[in-house]
Amino acid sequence: MISKSEYEGLEGSFHTVGNVVHYLPVMTSTMDVAWDLAVNGAPDGTFIVTDHQTAGRGRHAREWVSEVGEDVLCSVVLRPRVSLTGELLMIAALAVVDVAESLGMTVGIKWPNDVQVSGKKLAGVIAESVTEPSGSCTHGSSERLTAVIGIGLNVNFDPDEHADVVPDSTSLGKELQRPVKRFDVLLELMRSLDDYYSQIMSGGSVVTTWRNKLTTLGKDVTVSREELGTDSSLSGLAHDVDSFGRLILRDEFGRDWPVAAGEVTVRKVSC
């Protein structure tokens, strides 16, 4: 187990991410705690981490399964420019990719945010944000963004014990066939996330880097879109992504459809 002093010793180790570190052994969800802190003025880069979540959640309000002290469960409060909203999921996924690659793994990203090894889910990231007016009445107003990124990275998780709940999952330890030091993984994750965040905040972009890691492009897929109803879906070629991170789906008539969110299933071709 990582000690409280080790967690707290991370504070201020990087440029922005981890300026403030909040650690509790058990939380309902790091996302919930992060939002509580965010609405009460937590500064840019505030980092929340725990050993266990009693109500961890992923995309589409799904449960995130993890045993006590096995994995990296964290969230970070960010306050970037509104124009950077689309790249927040990208930097989180890329940070996980960097961790896995530093251990010698070949990984990819299933659009939009599942980091996978050989088609098995290694990690998931979630990003939530709100915008609100900021500015004076005399000089007009602009919008400012408050965002929370959540990362669940399977470190020593044993997928065989939870195959009925989270099928097609894996972990760093499973792939390497040995236990992995969770604190080292956390350090690398924070370092990489901080580097990417600094990059986009200084005018750079990670869109091309993220695009090059996507395993979805070039495949015939069906995207189920919750915002259009439970039975709504689009099928076609995963043609490209745009600068906002939307998947460009090309249908059978050659029309392009930008898809902001949804569940992707690769369609099998019959012989």
Q: How confident is the model at residue 260 (pLDDT cuts 50, 70, 90)?
A: confident
Verify that 43 and 125 share a domain, yes or no: yes
Verify that 209 and 79 share a domain, yes or no: yes
Final residue in a domain of this structure, among 198, 213, 228: 213
* 244 occurs within a structural domain: yes
Verify that 168 and 249 share a domain, yes or no: no
Verify that 64 and 139 share a domain, yes or no: yes
CATH of the domain at 131: 3.30.930.10
* 271 occurs within a structural domain: no
Half-sphere exposure of 168 (CA within 13 A, CB side): 8
> Which amino acid appears at position 162 of this protein?
H
| Token code pair at residue 191 | 């370092």
* 182 occurs within a structural domain: yes
Pairing of strands 142-153, 72-78: antiparallel
Q: In terms of C-beta distances under 8 Å and separation of at least 24 residues, what long-range contacts does 1-5 make, across chains too?
A: 1/51, 1/69, 2/51, 2/69, 2/182, 2/183, 2/186
Verify that 167 and 108 share a domain, yes or no: yes
Q: Identify any residues that bridge with 265 across adjacent strands, giving them in sequence order.
A: 222
**pLDDT value at residue 98:** 98
Region 69-73 average pLDDT? 92
Verify that 143 and 9 share a domain, yes or no: yes
Query: What does 49-101 look like in DSSP terms, one character per residue?
Result: EEEEESS-B-GGG-B----TTTSEEEEEEE---GGGGGGHHHHHHHHHHHHHH
Final residue in a domain of this structure, among 213, 229, 253: 213
**pLDDT value at residue 263:** 76
**pLDDT above 90: residue 47:** yes
* 194 occurs within a structural domain: yes
Q: Per residue in 196-248, pLDDT tens?
A: 999 999 999 999 999 999 999 999 999 886 544 555 788 999 999 999 999 99
* 164 occurs within a structural domain: yes
List CB contacts of 217: < 8 A, sequence separation 6 or more: 111, 211, 238, 239, 240, 241
Q: Per residue in 158-194, pLDDT tens?
A: 888 876 667 789 999 999 999 999 999 999 999 999 9
Region 16-25 average pLDDT? 96
Verify that 232 and 206 share a domain, yes or no: no
Verify that 55 and 189 share a domain, yes or no: yes
Helix (H, G, I), strand (E, B) or coil at 159: helix
* 29 occurs within a structural domain: yes
Verify that 127 and 233 share a domain, yes or no: no
pTM of the model: 0.89
d(CA 78, CA 125): 14
Structural domain of residue 102, as residue ranges? 4-213
* Nearest C-alpha neighbor of 211 from the set 255, 257, 250, 242: 242
Verify that 201 and 77 share a domain, yes or no: yes
Helix (H, G, I), strand (E, B) or coil at 42: coil
Q: Identify any residues that bridge with 133 across adjacent strands, giving them in sequence order.
A: 143
Q: What is the mean pLDDT of the chain?
A: 88
d(CA 149, CA 194): 12
For the chain, how many structural domains are there in total? 2
List CB contacts of 34: < 8 A, sequence separation 6 or more: 42, 46, 48, 75, 76, 77, 148, 150
* 108 occurs within a structural domain: yes
* 161 occurs within a structural domain: yes
pLDDT > 70: percent of the chain: 87
> Which amino acid appears at position 176 of this protein?
L
Verify that 198 and 227 share a domain, yes or no: no
Verify that 192 and 225 share a domain, yes or no: no
CATH of the domain at 247: 2.30.30.100
d(CA 227, CA 70): 34
**pLDDT value at residue 28:** 93
